[in-house]
Structure 1
Amino acid sequence: MKIIFIDGYNVLNSWPNLKEGKNDSFHGRRLKLVNILHNYGSYSDSKVILVFDGHKVAGNLENKEDINKNLSIIFTKDGETADSYIEREVHSLGRRFEVYVVTSDWLEQQTIFQRGAVRMSSLEFYNEVMETEHSIRKKAAKNRVVAKNHLQDNLDIDVVQKLEKIRRSE
């Protein structure tokens, strides 16, 4: 299984569809990201770990919320950045798993690369997620029933005529 660590605030400030707009609340943007990553993780069968900084929130304890088997959200403890949390976790995983780290922080990318993870910029990941969403929409469109499926559409004309004759005779 592929494990993907995501620097949440870095992505929120990088993705065009999540950048702050005049009508967008911070909480709303964060929920939108969670929904996008939920779909992505389920479709790609990846374990997505979304990490938000809690280092500036005095007295904050580390908080982990497992949304499902494919998505977890972490709020780091007081004094710990998302970068340091991700570095620690990548180091503890070692090279046993296929690990990706999504951040546009150049120094973080270099550190992660040295620890055996694959680095990916926020915009590269955005493009991958958008391709996945496109695949999901395409697959859903194929499964959508355009017209009703009537029994008579699947029968030979002889059988339809015989059934109609039976129906009218009663």
Structure 2
Amino acid sequence: MKIIFVDGYNVINSWPNLKQQKDYSFDGARQSLIDSLHNYSVYEGCKVIIVFDAHKVNRSIEKKEDINNNISIVFTKDGETADSYIEKEVHNLGRRFEVYVVTSDWLEQQTIFQRGAVRVSSIEFYNDVIDTENRIKRKANKNTHLLHKNNLLDNVNDDILKKLEAIRRSK
């Protein structure tokens, strides 16, 4: 199984759409990230764990919420960074899974690589998520088009429709 750890605030500060959104609604930017990654994880069939720092929040305890089988949200405890949480989890997973870590923090990328995970920059991941969203839209449009394409009315010309209607009303 492919597991992707995402440094939430690092991504919010790197993705163009979220960087703008956080200026007027930080909670909105966080929710937009969660929604995008939820769609991504379901479509790609992987597990995404989004980690948000709480190291500057006094007396914060670690909170983990499993949204479904594909996505989990973690708020670290007081004094713990997202980087340290991710490092610990990657170390615990060992090399049993295909593990990716999304962050643009260079030092974090080096540490993760040494522990057997694949590092992905926030911008690389952004492009991957956008590509996946576009594939989802194309597939949805194709399915919608197919639904409309198979209507009987689309395949019968107006003269025949009028004749059929006249026959129906004459009974």
Instruction: Give the alignment's TM-score, normalised by structure 1.
Output: 0.88
Over the aligned positions, Cα root-mean-square deviation in angstroms equals 2.4
1:85-164 correspondence runs (5 A): 85-145=85-145, 147=148, 149-151=150-152
**Would the aligned equivalents of 2:22 and 2:29 in 1 still touch at CA under 8 Å?**
no
User: Which consecutive residues of structure 1, in runs of 5 or more, have no partner in the other structure?
Assistant: none
Which digits, 9 at most, give the CA deviation of each residue in 1:34-93, with x for residues without a partner? 110010001101100000001111110000011111110000001111000000000000
Preserved CA contact (<8 Å) 2:21 2:28: no
Q: Structure 2: how far apart are the matches of 1:62 and 1:168?
A: 71
CA separation of 1:147 and 1:75: change in aligned 2, threshold 3 A = same
Equivalent position of 1:167 in the other structure: 168
| 1:23 shift after superposition | 6.2
How far, CA to CA, are the matches of 1:78 and 1:166 in structure 2?
A: 77
* Partner Cα distance (2:33, 2:22) in 1: 18
Identity of aligned residues (%): 70
**Counterpart Cα distance in 2 of 1:150 and 1:40:** 32
Give the TM-score, by structure 2 length.
Answer: 0.88
Distance in structure 1 (CA, Å) of the matches to 2:115 and 2:92 = 10
Larger deviation, residues 145-154 vs 130-139: 145-154
Matches within 5 A, 1:36-75: 36-75=36-75
- 5+ unaligned residues in a row in structure 2: which ranges? none
- Normalized per residue, which structure has more helix? 2
CA distance 1:58–1:168, change in 2 (3 Å) = closer
Give the SS at the match of 2:18.
coil
Q: Distance in 1 between matches of 2:166 and 2:33?
A: 59
Deviation at 1:165, TM superposition (A): 8.0
Q: Is the Cα contact below 8 Å between 1:20 and 1:26 reproduced in 2?
A: no
